Chain A
Amino acid sequence: MSVATIARNAVPRAWGPAWHGLLVGGMVVGIGSFAYQWWNGLAVTGLSNTISWGAYIITFMFLVGISAGGLIVAAGAELVGSVRFASLQRLAVVLSGTAILTAALSILPDLGRPQFVWRMLRQPHWTSPLIWDVIIITVYLTIAGLDLYVLTRPIPRPGSLRRLAAVALPAAVLVHSITAWIFGLLVARPFWNTALLAPMFISSALVSGLGLLIVAAHLVQRWTDWKPQETVYEDLGGLLVWFLAADGFLLFTEVLTTYASRVPDHLEQLDVLLFGRLAPVFWAEIALGVLVPLAICVSRLRRRRRWVVAAGTLAMAGVLAKRINIVMTSMYVPLVGLAPGIPNGRAGQGFVPAPVYVPTWVEFGILIGLASFFGMLVTLGVRYVVLPERADREAES
């Protein structure tokens, strides 16, 4: 089969135009919403002076997180010399690179003056974790690019992937740690201000990244004639058990330490999460995002692809809920909480003692745009990088 034939079969013909149309439409919605926000200021979002970070930052955290799966599965397998996930390597790297690129993009709508973002490069302030995040994201993106380059060479040079993996793994650990330190180093936010935040970001990233890889592999297999190794889903499900267990363990440690030591401001914020306004999201996350996928993946259901995909989806959704909780818990409870609170920020609005945050259509519009951008890049990556793999291999032999 020639490369051209496979490329044409990337998405069944009937669905191809509709799928691409959907993605292009989504991107148009995103650009339109961004333009609207540009003209009117961030006042068109649901953010306020109390809850000054919201949907965009949550999306950023989530996207950085899901970028983990790919590189760690690809690089990790390479380093330990495992061939179990060899058939997933290209897809994994495409997903990683795309996610981190979209994450970098998702910061722009959060800025009040995105036209001046270049000042971060002109006059970087080295004590700011944001600067370090920019650097590590650039490094990570470069590694993903190099990985793709090596993977798609007609005659891969043995050892080059392995050398790359030795750099990629520490970089992946750093990208999640530095993103965590954006939050974790703030003395003003007791719920974030824990040394456990970086390890928790790594474990959550592994869970969501693996979830994405499972779901994406399933969709690509379903819509195209691409086929990974038979046992790949069962193996991924087995890996998910470890990641979920680590993530759950770290969360439990954090909760136990806070409740046992009873530091007042830390406790007050955790109460919002466990028993307060965020409790429904939190307990749903624990039940559906941790326990159910864990149950699926330790049982015999793991042998069935459909169940592993369900577990991956739930785990990913659980991590998204966790990201929402992490940001909102600290934002809901300002340290100086006396009445009348913090001025909301718009003309005609008063002070807000008990803030709520509801994203507006503008924020959803931009999120749809980002999701479509992500989907489009993955689709292109699947068509031009993942699917030709078999043709490449046939050409080789």
Chain B
Amino acid sequence: MTESAKVSPIAALPEASRRYGAVGRVSREPRWGMAVDLERCIGCWTCAVVCKSENAVPLGLWWNRILTRGEDLDTPRVGELGRLEMSWVPLACQHCDDPPCMKVCPTSATFVDGDRGRLVQVNQDDCIGCRYCMAACPYGVRVFNWSEPRYPVDGLEFGMVERRPVGSVEKCTMCIHRLVEGQVPACVWSCPVQARIFGDLNDPDGDLVRAIQDRGGKRLLEEKGTQPRVYYLEPRRRLAP
């Protein structure tokens, strides 16, 4: 573990900040999940950038990125009845209940963490770098350390987790290091428009499950049968033409 991981910065937070980022109700056997409200998302990339510094993601790699639904990044597409349409799809590991990446890993480096909310995690010590999981992931959210990791400022220790070795695969951990301290993932607290709802999918009365039910939350590539645990809430209103 790096130095920074030993001293928990979360413990040092003021009470109010800690309360803001606290995980809400949790059932006895939590199944962590997330909903992203596409009506709220403004495509600002804050969560993507905060994710990079929280997890010390090297230059050139992203665990979390914002896709644009439109003609192009800066061009809306002409939709139904001539209306212009543009929205964003924040994309990171979907923490599937039936993860194709885990099944193909030859060394079990990718595994389902049964003790800590059944999230899909990677143990880089066991990773041989065959990139089979990258071929198997339908969402394209896994990234590989092609060379010795580089950071914007040399020598500056940032990030709250251990850095990953060259030649290994990495991806979103749903900030498991924060979850064990009762705090929501970095992308959730950092969202300026509170577009992300984090919670326990096993808690039928929790905010997360209620939001997914009320809004008819959809999952990406549902037809592939991977049963992702990230739900997307489509926009309800449309701008007048």
Q: Which residues of A contact B (CB under 8 A)?
A: 40-44, 47-50, 52-53, 107, 110-114, 116-117, 119-120, 123-125, 127-131, 134, 182-183, 185-189, 331, 334-336, 338-340, 342-349, 351
Residue with the greatest number of chain A CB neighbours at <10 A, chosen from B60, B61, B127, B137: B60
Interface presence of B150 (CB below 8 A): yes
Number of A-B contacts (CB under 8 A): 161
Is the CB–CB distance between B72 and A343 below 8 Å? no
Q: How far is the CB of B154 from chain A (nearest CB, A)?
A: 12
Question: Which B residues lie within 8 Å of A343 (CB)?
Answer: 60-62, 65, 143
- B119-162 interface mask toward A, CB cutoff 8 Å, 1 = contact, 0 = none? 00000001111111011111110111111101000000000000
Q: How far is the CB of A244 from chain B (nearest CB, A)?
A: 29
Is the CB–CB distance between B106 and A52 below 8 Å? no
Question: Which A residues lie within 8 Å of B213 (CB)?
Answer: none
Is the CB–CB distance between B60 and A187 below 8 Å? no
Is the CB–CB distance between A41 and B167 below 8 Å? yes
Closest B residue to A188 by beta carbon equals B138
Is the CB–CB distance between A112 and B145 below 8 Å? yes
Is the CB–CB distance between B166 and A41 below 8 Å? yes
- B67-102 interface mask toward A, CB cutoff 8 Å, 1 = contact, 0 = none? 111101100000000000000010100000000100
Q: How far is the CB of A354 from chain B (nearest CB, A)?
A: 12
Residue with the greatest number of chain A CB neighbours at <10 A, chosen from B62, B72, B134, B146: B146
Report the Cα distance A48→B61, complex, angstroms.
11
Is the CB–CB distance between B144 and A49 below 8 Å? yes
Report the Cα distance A235→B162, complex, angstroms.
62
Known: A41-B147, A50-B140. A119 touches B59 (CB 8 A): no
Q: How far is the CB of A186 from chain B (nearest CB, A)?
A: 5
Interface presence of B183 (CB below 8 A): no
Is the CB–CB distance between B134 and A49 below 8 Å? yes
Is the CB–CB distance between B221 and A335 below 8 Å? yes
Residue with the greatest number of chain B CB neighbours at <10 A, chosen from A47, A116, A188: A188
Is the CB–CB distance between B136 and A53 below 8 Å? no
Known: A128-B104, A335-B139. A113 touches B144 (CB 8 A): no
Question: Which A residues lie within 8 Å of B59 (CB)?
Answer: 347-348
Instruction: Offer 22 A-B interface pairs, CB within 8 angstroms, sorted by A.
Output: A41-B147, A42-B144, A42-B167, A43-B147, A49-B61, A49-B142, A53-B131, A112-B144, A113-B165, A120-B128, A125-B107, A125-B108, A130-B104, A186-B104, A188-B136, A188-B138, A335-B140, A340-B67, A344-B60, A345-B61, A346-B147, A348-B59
